Amino acid sequence: MVSFWLNRSWPRKSALLARAVYERYTDLVEPYGMDECWLDVSGSVDLFGSGMDIAEEIRRTTRVELGLTVSIGVSYNKVFAKLGSDMKKSDAITEISENKIEGLVWTLPSGDLFYCGRATENKLAKYGIRTIGDIAKQPPDVLRRLLGVNGVMLWRFANGLDTSPVADRDYASPIKSIGHGITCVADLENVDEVWKVILDLSQDIGHRLRVHGLEATGAQITIKDDALMYKQYQAPLELATQSAMEIALIAQDLFRKNYRWACNVRSLTVRAINLIPKGQPQQLNLYIDNERREKRIQLEDTVEAIRQRFGKRSIIPATIMGNLKMPGVRSNEVIMPGMQNR
């Protein structure tokens, strides 16, 4: 199988236009998040040439027709295709073939492997496991004892044994929950830092609920502390919602009521659960100011429309400006209309 990982940071409209380009070459186009995709072009090589040929054609076409650049990884499985796309950014193509694994992949830090987060990387380093090759060469039982079933999964990924298929572009798996989690670049040390991360994560959840036409009737928060211990709490929402703020507020309430600060917080996941189709009739709550709530939801809908046009970070809550201790977030930058960022 040949698969692509294409990594971009474009507004949603641009991502959809790019996806139309990908679909000229295969109907096996699997989105991952708002701005990334896997492609399986193994059935297209007789028509369009090798995987590298197709990658180069996609790179050229997106630049010429859309004025956009892509980072592409070409490999025989999804894990290494993703890894390849992360190695050169942007407007670049990296091929990882089976005979390149030892020289190209195994020398990389363990944290570069899909699903090997910072905490896992640090834990492995305590046992002298510092590269992807170190993971590949460990007996699976050793990794199982260290990391549970995730250790075996990482061993399979490191050895190029991922066999997960690329889904058809029309495939829609049943959505039971929508969540977003992050391992922070530094431990969260107080409630205010936790709230900012919760609110930022909830922005993505609200967007994805709207994309799929779903509403949440409950919320869940998962906390991993700096001792690598997990705690998970959930609660129902008073009304079904797509509102990022309503989901964030109940997640914050769950955290405040249940977390005792024996350790600092290493990572957080917020999840919308017990999803239902948007618009299902529901009993109104007499103790809620429904008129005020409706105005807030209309405001969030307007913000969502702006983000779809100009990018997901074109407008954000002021409270999450500054250092969120989240990787890859530049919320502290303000760009005035018609001016360059300085």
Specify whether domain 177-320 bears CATH 1.10.390.10.
Answer: no
CATH label, 3-158, candidates 3.20.20.210, 3.30.70.270, 3.40.50.300, 3.90.1150.10: 3.30.70.270
Give the residue-averaged pLDDT of 275-282. Answer: 84
Residue 266 has which token pair?
């290493």
Cα 45 to the center of its chain, rounded Å:
30
| Residue 36 is a catalytic residue | yes
Find the helix packing angle between 51-66 and 12-22, rounded to 10°. Answer: 140
Give the residue-averaged pLDDT of 185-204. Answer: 93
Give the residue-averaged pLDDT of 324-335. Answer: 57
Q: Where are the domains of the chain?
A: 3-158, 177-320
Say if pTM beats, i.e. exceeds, 0.75.
no
Q: Which residues contact 197 (CB under 8 A, 6 or more apart)?
A: 182, 184, 188, 268, 324, 325, 326
Residue 152 has which token pair?
């075996």
Cis link prior to 44 (omega < 30° from 0)? no
| Banded model confidence at residue 174, pLDDT cuts 50, 70, 90 | low
Which stretch of 63-67, 103-107, 213-217, 283-287 has the lowest confidence by average pLDDT?
283-287
Find the helix packing angle between 12-22 and 290-310, rounded to 10°. Answer: 50
In the chain, pLDDT over 70 holds for what percent of residues? Answer: 90
119 versus 235: which is more confidently predicted? 235
pLDDT score at 309: 83
Q: What is the mean pLDDT of the chain?
A: 85
pLDDT score at 314: 79
Compute the distance between CA of residue 103 and CA of residue 265 in angstroms, rounded to an integer: 36
| Banded model confidence at residue 6, pLDDT cuts 50, 70, 90 | very low
pLDDT score at 328: 64
Radius of gyration of the chain (CA): 21
Compute the distance between CA of residue 169 and CA of residue 279 in angstroms, rounded to an integer: 26
119: nearest Cα among 269, 273, 324: 269
Compute the distance between CA of residue 23 and CA of residue 10 in angstroms, rounded to an integer: 18
The tally of CA atoms less than 13 A away on the side-chain side of residue 224 is 14
Could you tell me if 266 and 183 are in contact, meaning their C-beta atoms sit under 8 angstroms apart? yes
- Is the model's pLDDT at 332 over the cut of 70? no
Give the residue-averaged pLDDT of 294-320. Answer: 84
Among 63-72, 111-120, 134-143, 333-342, the range of highest mean pLDDT? 134-143
Compute the distance between CA of residue 81 and CA of residue 96 in angstroms, rounded to an integer: 7
Name 267's bridge partners. Answer: 183, 224
- Is the model's pLDDT at 2 over the cut of 50? no
Name 277's bridge partners. Answer: 214
pLDDT score at 329: 53
Q: What is the DSSP letter of 288?
A: S
- Is the model's pLDDT at 245 over the cut of 50? yes
Compute the distance between CA of residue 86 and CA of residue 89 in angstroms, rounded to an integer: 7
254 versus 18: which is more confidently predicted? 254
Name the active-site residue from 23, 36, 56, 57.
36
239 versus 331: which is more confidently predicted? 239
Give the residue-averaged pLDDT of 98-120. Answer: 92
pLDDT score at 264: 93
| Banded model confidence at residue 162, pLDDT cuts 50, 70, 90 | very high
- Is the model's pLDDT at 330 over the cut of 60? no
pLDDT score at 278: 87
